[in-house]
Amino acid sequence: MPIPKTKAPMAWWKRIGCGFQLLLIFSLLIGTYTAWWWIDSARTCETQDEYNLRGICLMRIQERAEQGDNAAQWTYGAYLETERREQEARVWQVRAMHGAQDGLDMRDEMIGYCDRKPGFEARTVESIMLRVVQTSPDAHLTLLQLYTYPGCGALDLDKASAQIPLLTQCAHLSIEHYLRTASEKHYRVPLATRAAIRSNISLCEKELADPPPMGTTVREFMPVRRQSLDALSRSLAALEP
């Protein structure tokens, strides 16, 4: 007697045995999870960063990096670093540094890695920043930070002083760090630099009242606050005549 069509699948299922049934179920679960993982990686791409890049988003970042996108090169390099693929990471980070065209292309790694990682020697980092600042004046803030960074051979308070009158944005944190470094090095802050700091404090007052949009130019990592401005004013007033 022929098996009814409705019962044929059940008969086949029983015939293949328990072991093969478990294998099929397990394979189906893996396939479902894999499909969900890829879909989720695409859906959450905008919220991923270098610490959790995956799936389609990672592929897009890598593709953009290979096409010369500076931001993608920094991100892909940072991702590789989190994966402990240090040598590959350094290739992308150095490539991104040399390809910098404006202030936003000059990432914190350029200062943090200065004289600590191959390719980020002080003279190289400084020369790239000096090139970029010619067409991106907001990058004077990054130069100020470089010239006051204690772990880098580019530390030079005379050069740092020269950057302050050229700042185009509120630099309350970087100037506070400059004054602290000057105190530690027993460096006398020039009168012209003190006047430039007062001008920057005035600029900070304006930004405090009317915050500028973020992400369009180089800015401090933390928005200006009243407490920070008051502390900076006290530090400036405490300087010896």
pLDDT tens, position by position, 133-170 = 999 999 999 999 999 999 899 999 999 999 999 999 99
Answer whether 229's CB lies under 8 Å from 200's CB.
no
Say if 106 falls within a structural domain: no
Say if 28 falls within a structural domain: no
Place of tokens 């004077």: 140
Parent domain of 196: 136-241
User: For position 58, what pLDDT does the model report?
Assistant: 77
Say if 142 falls within a structural domain: yes
Average pLDDT along the chain: 84
Say if 231 falls within a structural domain: yes
Answer whether 113's CB lies under 8 Å from 78's CB.
no
**CA 193 to CA 161: how far, in whole Å?**
6
- Does 230 score more than 70 pLDDT? yes
Number of structural domains, the chain? 1
Say if 73 falls within a structural domain: no
User: What's the average model confidence in pLDDT over 213-240?
Assistant: 89
- Does 50 score more than 80 pLDDT? no
